[in-house]
């Protein structure tokens, strides 16, 4: 099952978190290996499943957190502050043409998009010529990136992947 691979990748991601010396390796794995795999293999399959509308075991919990605490809001504000003070602008995150804002998948997808902005900002700050900006901004953005990935892994391991695994069991 694809979720076996993705759960294993989550373990590898968690092992690299909160270790700033591994930031470039973490970013490469998340942004070039893990998130593309989810978007190419997992999300399109789930989008076609009727059970997605019914949600997973913790869908209402995660929706509630998004509505009441808006955990990505503070990260987006910090990024805007960083962009306002520097010349850096991230590449726009490619959209998935079939994904609607009403789909529960828009939640993890928004995390991929904000995560990509954070990741690109960190790679910019890792360049030797940006040493001064690194001192000012790296720690805050890195902390947000790790926090976002922890939330994301928890949401997928305990909800999204379970919807997939249940769907696979019923279609066998």
Give the separation between CA 108 and CA 124, rounded to whole angstroms.
24
Residue nearest to Fe ion as judged by C-beta position = 156
Give the residue with the Cβ less far from Fe ion, 37 or 126.
37
Cβ proximity to Fe ion, 117 vs 156, nearer residue: 156
The stretch among 18-26, 43-51, 89-97, 148-156 that binds Fe ion (CB under 5 A) is 148-156
The only residue of 111, 117, 144, 156 in contact with Fe ion, by rule CB under 5 A: 156
Please give the Cα distance from 13 to 9 (Å, whole number): 6
Closer residue to Fe ion, CB minimum distance, 16 or 86: 16
Q: Is 111 an interacting residue with respect to Fe ion (CB under 5 A)? A: no
What are the DSSP calls for 27-55, one per residue? HHIIIIIIHHHIIIIIHHHHHT-THHHH-
In whole angstroms, the minimum distance from the beta carbon of 21 to Fe ion comes to 23
Under a CB-based contact definition with an 8 Å cutoff, are residues 153 and 17 in contact? no
Taking the complex as a whole, the smallest distance from the CB of residue 34 to Fe ion amounts, in Å, to 6
What separation in angstroms does the CA of 123 have from each of 10, 149, 159?
A: 21, 16, 30
Which two three-digit tokens encode residue 85?
């003070």
Could you tell me which stretch among 88-96, 134-142, 150-158, 159-167 binds Fe ion (CB under 5 A)?
Answer: 150-158
How many positions of this chain bind Fe ion (CB under 5 A)?
Answer: 1
Based on CB atoms, which residue is closest to Fe ion, 144 or 156? Answer: 156
Stretch that binds Fe ion, among 40-48, 49-57, 69-77, 149-157 (CB under 5 A): 149-157
- The nearest distance, CB 1 to Fe ion, in angstroms, is 14
Q: Three-class SS of residue 66?
A: helix
Where would I find the H helices in the chain? 2-16, 23-28, 35-37, 43-47, 51-54, 59-69, 71-85, 106-125, 131-155, 161-171
Q: Report the interface residues with Fe ion, using CB under 5 A.
A: 156
């Amino acid at each position: 099952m694809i979720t076996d691979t993705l759960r294993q990748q989550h373990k590898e991601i968690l092992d690299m978190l909160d270790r700033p010396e591994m930031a470039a390796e973490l970013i490469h794995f998340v942004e070039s290996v893990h998130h593309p795999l989810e978007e190419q293999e997992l999300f399109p399959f789930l989008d076609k499943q009727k059970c997605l509308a019914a949600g997973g075991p913790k869908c209402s919990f995660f929706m509630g957190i998004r509505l009441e605490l808006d955990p990505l809001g503070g990260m987006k504000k910090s990024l805007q502050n960083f962009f306002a003070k520097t010349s850096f602008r991230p590449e726009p995150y490619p959209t998935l043409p079939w994904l609607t804002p009403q789909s529960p998948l828009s939640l993890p997808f928004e995390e991929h998009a904000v995560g990509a902005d954070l990741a690109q900002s960190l790679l910019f700050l890792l360049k030797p010529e940006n040493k001064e900006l690194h001192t000012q901004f790296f720690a805050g953005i890195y902390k947000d990136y790790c926090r976002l990935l922890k939330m994301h892994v928890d949401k997928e391991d305990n909800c999204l992947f379970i919807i997939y695994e249940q769907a696979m069991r019923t279609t066998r």
